[in-house]
Amino acid sequence: MGRQAEWFQQVPAALDALQHLTTPVIDRATLQRLLSVHRRTAIRLMHGFGGYQAGKTFLIDRARLIQQLAEVATGDPYHYAAQRRERLVDHLDRTRRELAARRVKIPMAPDVAFRELSGLPRTIRLAPGKLEITCTDAQDLLRQLMELAQGIANDYEKFEHVVNPCR
């Protein structure tokens, strides 16, 4: 019936368009436009859906085509293809976001890996129930958050004591 990836995603719109048409038959060119497929694929689909040739024109009963496309839309291959497409779109979105995040450069001091809480800049103030960071821009904020995270990782006991002084 043609490569599914080519035309499966067009089925809902094609069904909607077919409901609004009043002609009793659909020709190959119309099916080709409805499903956004090549000429040869449209011919193969028409044969698979029970179309026929009248002279040099391929035709299919509109009601039969609606029925055939509705069956396709409720079938497992259609749902598997839709799920596969959804997973692909999700994966591409995640990849785009990840690539955008990788482009962000956070300037770091060479000694940041060894930073402890006592070595944090004065623009970072940590107190029980409160964290305050004064920054000049987004890059500066990211740099300071990175320094804070490294300071916490290197001096967790002190961090816990500052945040929870009663323990």
Q: What is the pLDDT of residues 97-123, one digit of tens each?
A: 999 888 888 878 888 888 888 888 999
- Predicted confidence at residue 2, as pLDDT, reads 45
Q: Binning pLDDT at 50, 70 and 90, where does residue 4 land?
A: low
Phi, psi dihedrals of residue 148, rounded to the nearest 5°: -60, -45
Mean pLDDT for the chain overall: 88
Angle between helices 11-20 and 28-35 (to 10 degrees): 130
- In this prediction the pTM is 0.53
Amino acid (one-letter) located at 93: D
Q: How far apart are CA 87 and CA 49, in angstroms?
A: 29
Q: Is it the case that residue 124 has pLDDT exceeding 60? A: yes
State the span(s) of the chain assigned CATH 1.10.10.
4-87
Of 42, 62, 60, the closest CA to residue 51 belongs to 60
**Which of 2.60.40, 1.10.3470, 1.10.10, 2.40.50 is the CATH number of 4-87?**
1.10.10
Checking if the pLDDT of 54 tops 80, the result is yes
What single-letter DSSP state applies at residue 36? T
Measured CA to CA, the distance from residue 17 to residue 31 in angstroms comes to 11
In the predicted structure, residue 164 carries a pLDDT above the cut 80: yes
